[in-house]
Structure 1
Amino acid sequence: MPKRLIIFDLDGVVLKRHFLLEMSRHIGLLTYLRAVWLCFLFNAGKLSLSQLIRKVYARFKDVPLEEARHVFGHMRLADGCAEAIHAMRDAGNTVIFVSSGVPSAFAASLAATVGADRGHGIEPALQTDASSLPRLTGEVEGRLSQDGRKSELVQQLLDEFGLQWSDVVVLADDRNNVEIMEKAGLSIGVNANLPVRRMATHLVDTGNLLDVLPFLSTGQPSTSAPGDTKQELFRKVVHACGCLVPLAALYAFHATLALLAVVAALFVLSEVTRLNGVRFPLIGHITVATVRASEQRRFAFAPLALAIGVILCLVLFDWPVATAGILAATLADTA
């Protein structure tokens, strides 16, 4: 009997991207933009899972199954994926992939490739005839394409392995997995959106599944990823860069103000995307690297407040006074 049953969501956890979006991108720009909008409605709670799957897959009609398999096969895996799964299995755990967007055959194939025990997904309906390869009909079958059915599958697995819900570990990123996270003994949000971020026992935003392993041996809720000392040091270095602002303002006052305003706006956008499991280009990597444990489940207001304070100092005071205020704020924050 395994020690634990570890359930991985595929999209956004094992895979860096989402299969529905990658397939939609492959078909065309308009199909992709439509899929992005539908996913937004789903994450906002305005669209059910079954509606999302049905509407997105409807645009996949007449796509050859092998073409879909090719798209899936070229999707990038999360860093440390195979190594983390092997470590979990070596510790006596059973690892299962469960997806409500990826065809079951694809999920099973990926599970075999990276060393997981099994893979479960949806069942897209196929049109076959003697003169052509199987094609998607645009319709979807299988319980994982329906709302509230993941827990049913997990319960079936628990009965098979003789385990309880307290023995379940769930790694997920979106609200489709909340139903099983609520029942599981341990839940880990991986690049998670807000509903998962709020309820997960642990959070990992590094994009590396090896960072999940330390959390499997602790029962205490945590929002910190390994490497907190390095993270705090990097945060202090970023804030100390504010000391350069007075010098820049001395030579290009208006340009400096404009740059600070743009950076503040980009930070807000980066935080909104971070809380929804998406890393904003460039600045998102800095945000994830500097955000404190206590800020991982909410909007990190401190950097925004610092930026606004620096702007106000430049606007309201003469250069010597503004410089003193900015240096006090940035250096005090690094202490």
Structure 2
Amino acid sequence: MSKKSILNKKSMAFLEAYLNNAAPTGYEWDGQKIWMDYLKPYVDTFITDTYGSAVGIINPKANYKVVIEGHADEISWYVNYISDNGLIYVIRNGGSDHQIAPSKIVNIHTKNGIVKGVFGWPAIHTRDKSKEEAPKPENIFIDCGCKTADEVAKLGIHVGCVITYPDEFHILNNDSFVCRALDNRMGGFMIAEVARLLHENKKTLPFGLYITNSVQEEIGLRGAEMITNTIKPNVAIVTDVTHDTTTPMIEQKVQGKVENGKGPVIAYAPAVQQKLRDLITETAENHNIPFQRSALSRATGTDTDAFAYSNGGVASALISLPLRYMHTTVEMVHRDDVENVIKLIYETLLNIKEGETFSYFK
């Protein structure tokens, strides 16, 4: 592939629109529509399932099926309790970080549209410095300017309304993409770009390619568990994010060393099929695509696990995008890594042969 940037104006406009749209776990469909609209020129057909996973398919009649996958959902909060004086207490929808909540503006999603609120917090002047209390899930609260529970109800807010952050996409220092929900809206973006490149470069694959954007990863890989049983793939290449461990307060002896800008991260784990992983690393080496490695104990914690252990076993691998500040509103990835993940998946697909079993016994 050419060394010039593969992210063009159209793809960047799609990325910004896709990220700026809220798609909390269980409520991903508007984001899926944006994703499918962008992907439509590059695939033959789509399938969707009951819970909202979406799949663009190239060569749908082929018997041998390869999945490339990301997940569509983002972490959020639920309204859990409304006090008599109109304050809203929350529970997590996914792995939302309570420590970043105080002073954040929020969008409360109601049938009447978005209602704004803020996570309040006692002023520094009023806190007892001898026993300062840290933010906890049970003590953070949202103030939407109401004095009573009835006022809150009149805004259309009730227990079960989902809550997201409004932070939008921007770029720092030309190459660092920053937004909430890069985990893992970037995955959906990157696999869509792979489909675009296959189309623009007029590549014909000897198998069916299932570009899969799964829902509900953040609460236990549930969307992938469902869609893999619908597709019944032979191979799955999953992409998600992983931690850049070079920022303060991260112990590299525990977390390993991964750095933004140094390339995709190829996972070593029991769920990762070793012959498929070797094909990926060899592809990277042959095409001078920089990459990093990570070792994951037991489970990968990504949709890789759901695909690998489905349908009697699916040859699966994980290519991760390094990311700083996961599950905050300022998640950060590097443009070069984004492009290199796209290139690595693209080139790997061109090396997969129809009918390949990746068997350890041949």
Q: Specify if TM > 0.5.
A: no
Counting strand residues as a fraction of each chain, which structure ranks higher?
2
User: What TM-score, normalized to structure 1?
Assistant: 0.27
Counting helix residues as a fraction of each chain, which structure ranks higher?
1
Of structures 1 and 2, the larger Rg is shown by 1
